[in-house]
């Protein structure tokens, strides 16, 4: 049976979703592309033998993201989405080039701080909401969320290969160039943005204190804190337990990523089309707990590490795709930029605490303590998610009301 034309995404909506997902993905490369190899590369720099400092360098990006996300989101509500996105991408590119030049860990941290100051996540997702009808907004948000998971996966596969070819300086320079290309994509491919709201009063109290938004914010905080903490220690685990040099880590990441996407796609379809968001969402969180316990007790060789990484990618990609979709459906329409700014701020705080905290724990208590801490965090999230209200799809809600 064909889908009625009125229920299909328009060409403009498809173009907006694809182009904004691409812009988001290009910018996220600045975070993800260095994760698999940075702790190995850091050993070649002055100060790189201190895992706490290495973790801080990874998490510094999240620190300035946390500072700037809400102001950027509010600014996009007032002065317009595209202007804020262009400014953020320029700052991000500057930070990438500083990190590419950096002669020691201190300058790496400066570059990462500048990268994080290009905090465009809230403005991009708010623009996506502006350019799509309500019945298609979830699809577009899922496209953006999935692009994050896809870039994360591709970065884990491609980073070791690129690191072997162009080095860490080349990786940072490439992310800077891609950020500049994202500006061109924004101006040429994204449909015109609606006029900004100006200085109208925004419902910020609802944004900060809505219970369902708070639960979603806790979720993205925990997810990215776990991600950063894990990847302070996982590259070394693959070297020490798997016997793989950094340039060969793709031999683990590639099959794990491909299998994870084959599992993730049916789960996303069930969550969105069959209105199974609640069980899929909670099952993905439970899977994170299983993964951390598996790494803690059964991660002593290459095969077990690969297995647990594959399951982590499954859970991460499902949650990364569904969380922004749920936020977009829960946030008040008049303050989407502000709401998504709060959401992305908590994500950024998670990145910073995960990197810095993971490095501190590994330095003082060992790698296994990182996995134990991540398991505890995921368990806490599962408890919080137990009381979440999941918005129904538009069609399902209408059918329920008609009965």
User: Hey, where are the domains in the chain?
Assistant: 13-391
Of the candidate ranges 77-91, 115-129, 152-166, 310-324, the one whose mean pLDDT is the lowest = 152-166
What's the sign of the alpha-carbon dihedral 10, 13, 17, 23? Answer: positive
Q: What percent of the chain has pLDDT over 90?
A: 16
pLDDT over threshold 80, residue 324: no
Of the candidate ranges 130-134, 290-294, 360-364, the one whose mean pLDDT is the lowest = 130-134
Across 214-239, b (16+ Cβ under 10 Å) vs e yields ebbbbbbbbbbbbbbbbbbbbbbbbb
Please give the CATH superfamily to which domain 13-391 belongs: MFS general substrate transporter like domains (1.20.1250.20)
pLDDT-derived band at 4 (thresholds 50, 70, 90) equals: very low
- Nearest CA to 121 among 349, 351, 345? 345
Distance between CA atoms of 65 and 116, rounded to whole angstroms? Answer: 5
C-alpha distances in Å from residue 10, one per residue of 20, 124, 133: 15, 19, 9
C-alpha distances in Å from residue 53, one per residue of 58, 137, 232, 288: 9, 41, 11, 27
**What local confidence, expressed as pLDDT, does residue 345 receive?**
81
- Nearest CA to 199 among 15, 44, 75, 383? 75
**What local confidence, expressed as pLDDT, does residue 357 receive?**
87
Question: Comparing 224 with 6, which gets the higher pLDDT?
Answer: 224
Question: Comparing 285 with 232, which gets the higher pLDDT?
Answer: 285
Region 188-212: what's the mean pLDDT? 72
Q: Is 18 left (phi over 0), alpha (psi -120 to 50) or beta?
A: alpha
pLDDT-derived band at 400 (thresholds 50, 70, 90) equals: very low
pLDDT over threshold 60, residue 197: no
Q: Phi first, then psi: what are they for 70, rounded to 5°?
A: -65, -45
Question: Comparing 271 with 201, which gets the higher pLDDT?
Answer: 271
CB 384 within 8 A of CB 275: no
CB 111 within 8 A of CB 61: no
Region 218-231: what's the mean pLDDT? 90
Q: Which residue has the tokens 């943005």?
A: 193
What's the sign of the alpha-carbon dihedral 348, 351, 354, 355? Answer: negative
CB 62 within 8 A of CB 348: yes
Region 292-319: what's the mean pLDDT? 86
CB 327 within 8 A of CB 340: yes
Distance between CA atoms of 401 and 248, rounded to whole angstroms? Answer: 55
CB 163 within 8 A of CB 41: yes
pLDDT digits (tens, 9 = 90+) for 246-304: 667 777 877 887 788 788 778 877 776 677 788 889 999 999 999 999 988 877 788 88
Region 164-168: what's the mean pLDDT? 86
Tokens coding 278: 């609640």
pLDDT digits (tens, 9 = 90+) for 12-39: 888 888 888 888 887 777 667 777 777 7
Distance between CA atoms of 363 and 344, rounded to whole angstroms? Answer: 28
Distance between CA atoms of 388 and 396, rounded to whole angstroms? Answer: 18
Question: Comparing 397 with 106, which gets the higher pLDDT?
Answer: 106
Per DSSP, the residues of 71-87 read: HHHHHHHHH-HHHHHHH
DSSP code at position 308: H
Question: Comparing 57 with 229, which gets the higher pLDDT?
Answer: 229
Distance between CA atoms of 91 and 165, rounded to whole angstroms? Answer: 26
**What local confidence, expressed as pLDDT, does residue 2 receive?**
46
- Secondary structure E strands in 261-300: none
Across 34-63, b (16+ Cβ under 10 Å) vs e yields bbbbbbbbbeebeebeebbbbbbbbbbbbb
pTM exceeding the 0.75 threshold for the entire prediction? no
pLDDT-derived band at 321 (thresholds 50, 70, 90) equals: confident
CB 155 within 8 A of CB 35: yes
């Amino acid at each position: 049976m064909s889908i009625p034309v009125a229920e299909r995404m328009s060409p403009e909506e498809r173009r907006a979703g694809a182009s904004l997902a691409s812009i988001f993905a290009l910018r996220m490369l600045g975070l993800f592309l260095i994760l698999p190899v940075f702790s190995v590369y850091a050993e070649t720099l002055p100060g790189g033998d201190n895992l706490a400092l290495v973790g801080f360098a990874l998490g510094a990006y999240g620190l300035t993201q946390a500072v700037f996300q809400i102001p950027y989101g509010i600014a996009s509500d007032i002065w317009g989405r595209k202007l804020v996105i262009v400014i953020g991408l320029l700052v991000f590119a500057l930070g990438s080039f500083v990190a590419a030049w950096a002669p020691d860990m201190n300058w790496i941290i400066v570059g990462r701080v500048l990268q994080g100051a290009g905090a465009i996540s809230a403005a991009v997702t708010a623009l996506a909401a502006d350019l799509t009808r309500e019945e298609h907004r979830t699809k577009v948000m899922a496209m953006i969320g999935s692009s994050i998971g896809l870039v994360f996966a591709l970065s884990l596969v491609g980073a070791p290969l690129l690191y072997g070819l162009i080095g860490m300086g080349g990786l940072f320079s490439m992310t800077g160039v891609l950020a500049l290309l994202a500006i061109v994509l924004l101006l040429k491919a994204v449909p015109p943005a609606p006029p900004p709201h100006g200085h109208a009063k925004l419902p910020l109290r609802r944004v900060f204190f809505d219970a369902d938004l708070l639960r979603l914010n806790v979720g993205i905080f925990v997810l990215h804190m776990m991600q950063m903490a894990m990847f302070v220690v996982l590259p070394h685990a693959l070297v020490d337990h798997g016997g793989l040099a950094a340039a060969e880590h793709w031999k683990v990441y590639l099959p794990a990523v491909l299998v994870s996407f084959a599992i993730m796609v049916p789960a996303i379809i069930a969550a969105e089309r069959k209105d199974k968001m609640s069980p899929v969402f909670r099952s993905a969180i439970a899977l994170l707990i299983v993964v951390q316990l598996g790494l803690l007790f059964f991660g002593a060789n290459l095969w077990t590490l690969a297995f647990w990484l594959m399951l982590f990618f499954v859970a991460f990609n499902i949650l990364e795709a569904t969380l922004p979709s749920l936020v977009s459906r829960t946030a008040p329409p008049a303050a989407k930029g502000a709401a998504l700014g709060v959401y992305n701020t908590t994500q950024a705080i998670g990145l910073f605490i995960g990197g810095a905290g993971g490095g501190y724990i590994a330095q003082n208590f060992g790698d296994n303590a990182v996995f134990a801490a991540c398991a505890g965090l995921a368990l806490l999230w599962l408890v919080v998610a137990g009381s979440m209200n999941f918005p129904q799809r538009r069609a399902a809600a209408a059918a329920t009301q008609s009965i």
